[in-house]
Amino acid sequence: MEHNAASLKKTAKLAGLLYLFLVITGVYGIFIVSTQVIVLGDTVATAKNIVAKEFIFRTGIINDLISNTIFVFLALTLYRLFKQVNEHQAKLMVVLVVVQIPVVFFMEAFNITSLMLFKDEILKTLQLSERQDLAMLFLRINDYGTLTLQMFWGLWLIPFGLLVYKSVFVPRIFGVLLIIAGIAYIHASFASILFPGYYNTFVNQPTLLLVAIGEISITLWLLIKGIRNDGLKIEKQ
């Protein structure tokens, strides 16, 4: 039992560390790259920023690739931690993460293609306006891809939250917060498609707040505490 408890705590702390790296890459993508490059509602200004701040734009692409690689390793580590709680839900959690990865890599390919079009490196037979329109189309596809991916960002948090709630070594409140964050992501995904005009004003900020509360709290718990000392016995369900 002592060996099992020590192994669990080590796995939990590793999960917390990976989650911290995931949060950091997420913050960089949202608050550094997006704020300096993307101008909402102004495609011309966005195109100029992408060319003028090419290095930042490229770091955003690398950041997304690193972030999603970390995401996979995080899911696998969480599976090791929670598989004794409910193996079916743990596998479902991993699957809901893994299915996102190919989509993300395709989206980054669109970003690279957009940059090449803005810099006149490809399709030189087209008029400048045509290349810019095509580049903006790829960027818009990327934007809508991100909005649809939000559904999966929420879906994976629900089995994760249920596993935390059912476990005896992590406080149940963190499971509740994760489930709320998951529902918020799913709601945001649907709202962005059904009511795009209200998304940035009424949906995006509350969603980010709920997600931050849920994911940062479990990150800090796993990283600092690991598992509860009074919850070392795991019950198979």
Res. 234: pLDDT tops 60: no
> What is residue 44's predicted lDDT score, i.e. its pLDDT?
73
Q: Is residue 233 part of a domain?
A: no
**What pLDDT is recorded for position 83?**
94
Domain annotation covers residue 235: no
| Burial class of residue 29, CB neighbours in 10 A (0-12, 13-18, 19+) | middle
Residue whose C-alpha is closest to residue 16's, from 169, 223, 163: 223
Residue 62 CB contacts under 8 Å (≥ 6 apart), including other chains: none
Q: What is the pLDDT of residue 76?
A: 97
> Is 236 inside a domain boundary?
no
Q: Is residue 232 part of a domain?
A: no
pLDDT in tens, 13-30: 999 999 999 999 999 998
Radius of gyration of the chain (CA): 20
pTM for the model: 0.88
Domain membership flag for residue 231: no
Cα 173 from Cα 161, distance rounded (Å): 9
Q: What band does 231 get if pLDDT is binned at 50, 70 and 90?
A: low
Instruction: Say what the pLDDT of residue 2 is.
Output: 47
In a domain? residue 230: no
Lowest mean pLDDT among 27-41, 85-99, 163-177, 178-192: 27-41
Mean local confidence (pLDDT), 98-119: 90
Residue range of the domain that includes 109: 2-225
Predicted confidence band of residue 235 (pLDDT cuts 50, 70, 90): very low
User: Hey, which bits of 18-170 come out as E strands?
Assistant: none
Q: Please report whether residue 234 resides in a domain.
A: no
Number of domains forming the structure of the chain: 1
Question: For residue 186, is pLDDT > 80?
Answer: yes
Q: Residue 126 carries which DSSP code? A: S
Average pLDDT over residues 44-59: 87
Q: Model confidence at 200, in pLDDT bands (50, 70, 90)?
A: low
Q: What is the pLDDT of residues 119-174, one digit of tens each?
A: 888 887 788 788 888 888 888 888 788 888 899 999 999 999 999 999 989 999 99
Span 52-98, pLDDT tens digits: 999 999 999 999 999 999 999 999 999 999 999 999 999 999 999 99
pLDDT, mean over the chain = 87
| pLDDT of the residue at 80 | 96
